[in-house]
């Protein structure tokens, strides 16, 4: 199958190392493992190696800089150009990562999948700058109502997509390339904790620092960078938290670091929101780490209510501290959680499984499927969340 992967968001370099970039790369690689021919059409390629896309061709059209209104119009123009190029090149399927002001997927004239990772209209309005909110809403509704499949990373995102024109959104949480990770050896000695991700307020690294302050036999490694790093380093020094900041690494280097760890932390604060699907948690599972995470968003379901990890109240450094001490003092429990985490990742969360579930949603858009639309939608949701029979 010839697949056109579209990403009109100029904030996502498809060859980059940020979380959204990794998501693009993993979906493309999953298509490639199926034997599909993939061309990536984007507004920002980035400076990384093309190897991360496993041989997929990259076609880019730059978005102009300037004031918000002009940038938004430029994205719309670039998206139209990319759709035209995809149609000219020829493809059997368009897979678009939802971006504001793009309805490229439905312009090409073939079946289309739209992947929705966040309520972008509200995010852009509340945290960045959105000049033409009405235009963004109109384009979004046109895209969602015209796509063959709208795949959303969580139930809250699916609910949001439904209010913006998606008739039957399916829920497709993030995944992980389990082939890239080897199970960690959870041995004795200092308990090695790790946090992976951008160092921003909504990731709760400050809560983790408070939790480990003054604890003996515990070490925290932070893989990532961001605007909070300087203040967090100072906080660690002041409170006596044993932590090292390695900065942002190439995603290809992350599995090797995780192999030497014991516990993966996802200490989201109470105000982190509930619509996200954290890549870090899936990577912790694939690496066979014992996971300690805040009970927010998808994390309780992902950790099966605590059966494959430890859940703590968000923003509660004391509860996080107790969980860490328990794992420090009970390595058998840590090893048990790590083994279950790895089994769960392989069984339920590999990117190939995620993509297969999304593609199965195309059946609901084919002639003769009208009488089984609801059944297909339910089966897809159960398959992707690991609750299918």
Task: Kindly tell me the burial class for residue 146, based on how many C-beta atoms sit within 10 Å of its own C-beta (0-12, 13-18, 19 or more).
Answer: middle
Residues 257, 197: contact at Cβ < 8 Å?
no
What distances in angstroms separate CA 373 from CA 148, 204, 277, one per listed residue?
A: 12, 40, 26
Quick: pLDDT tens for 106-146. 999 999 999 999 999 999 999 899 999 999 999 999 999 99
The number of CA neighbours under 13 Å toward the Cβ of 10 is 17
Q: In whole angstroms, give the CA distance from residue 366 to residue 360.
A: 11
Helices 317-329 and 205-212, axial angle in degrees (round to 10): 60
Class of domain 2-171: alpha beta
Contacts with 378 (C-beta within 8 Å, 6 or more apart), sequence order: none
DSSP state at residue 350: B
The pLDDT of residue 325: 98
Question: Is 318 in a helix, a strand, or coil?
Answer: helix
The pLDDT of residue 142: 98
Q: What is the fold of 178-348? A: Rossmann fold (3.40.50)
Ramachandran assignment for 176, one of left (phi > 0), alpha (psi -120 to 50 degrees), beta (any other): beta
**DSSP per-residue codes, 83-122:** HHHHHHH--SEEEEE--TT--GGGGSSS-EEEEE-S-HHH
The pLDDT of residue 382: 33
The pLDDT of residue 364: 58
Q: In whole angstroms, give the CA distance from residue 16 to residue 21.
A: 5
Task: Kindly tell me the burial class for residue 336, based on how many C-beta atoms sit within 10 Å of its own C-beta (0-12, 13-18, 19 or more).
Answer: middle
Q: In whole angstroms, give the CA distance from residue 163 to residue 179.
A: 37
The pLDDT of residue 365: 54
Q: Name the segment(s) of the chain with CATH classification 3.40.50.2000.
A: 2-171, 178-348
Which residues in the chain come in under a pLDDT of 50? 367-389
The pLDDT of residue 18: 86
Neighbours of 189 (CB within 10 A): 9
Residues 190, 217: contact at Cβ < 8 Å?
yes
DSSP state at residue 62: P
Neighbours of 137 (CB within 10 A): 14
Contacts with 81 (C-beta within 8 Å, 6 or more apart), sequence order: 61
Q: Of 97, 136, 119, which is closest to residue 19 (Cα–Cα)?
A: 97
Q: In whole angstroms, give the CA distance from residue 170 to residue 147.
A: 12
């Amino acid at each position: 199958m010839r697949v056109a992967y579209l990403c009109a968001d100029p904030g996502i370099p498809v060859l980059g190392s940020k979380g959204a970039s990794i998501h693009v790369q993993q979906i493309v690689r999953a298509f490639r493992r199926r034997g599909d021919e993939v061309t990536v059409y984007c507004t920002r390629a980035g400076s990384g190696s093309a190897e991360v896309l496993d041989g997929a061709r990259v076609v880019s059209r730059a978005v102009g800089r300037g004031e918000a209104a002009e940038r938004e119009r430029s994205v719309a123009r670039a998206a139209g150009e990319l759709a035209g190029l995809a149609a000219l090149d020829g493809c059997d399927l368009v897979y678009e990562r939802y971006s504001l002001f793009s309805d490229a997927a439905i312009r090409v004239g073939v079946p289309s999948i739209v992947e929705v990772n966040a309520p972008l209209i509200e995010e852009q309005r509340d945290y960045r700058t959105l000049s033409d909110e009405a235009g963004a809403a109109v384009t979004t509704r046109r895209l969602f109502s015209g796509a063959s499949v709208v795949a959303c990373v969580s139930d809250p995102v699916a609910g949001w997509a439904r209010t913006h024109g998606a008739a039957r959104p399916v829920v497709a949480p993030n995944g992980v390339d389990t082939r890239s990770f080897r199970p960690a050896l959870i041995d004795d000695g200092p308990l090695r904790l790790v946090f992976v991700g951008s160092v921003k307020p909504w990731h709760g690294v400050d809560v983790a620092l408070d939790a480990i302050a003054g604890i003996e036999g515990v070490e925290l490694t932070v893989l990532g960078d961001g605007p909070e790093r300087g203040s967090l380093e100072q906080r660690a020094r002041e409170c006596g938290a044993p932590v090292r900041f390695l900065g942002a690494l190439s995603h290809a280097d992350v599995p090797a670091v995780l192999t030497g760890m014991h516990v993966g932390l996802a200490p989201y604060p109470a105000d982190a929101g509930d619509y996200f699907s954290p890549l870090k948690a899936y990577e912790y599972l694939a690496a066979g780490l014992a996971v300690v995470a805040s009970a927010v968003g998808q994390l309780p379901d992902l950790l099966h209510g605590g059966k494959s990890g430890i859940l703590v109240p968000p923003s509660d450094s004391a509860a996080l501290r107790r969980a860490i001490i328990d794992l420090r003092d009970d390595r058998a429990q840590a090893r048990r959680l790590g083994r279950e985490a790895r089994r769960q990742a392989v069984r339920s969360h590999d990117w190939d499984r995620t993509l297969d579930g999304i593609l199965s949603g195309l059946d609901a858009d084919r002639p003769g499927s009208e009488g089984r639309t609801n059944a297909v939608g339910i089966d897809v949701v159960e398959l992707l969340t690991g609750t299918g029979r």
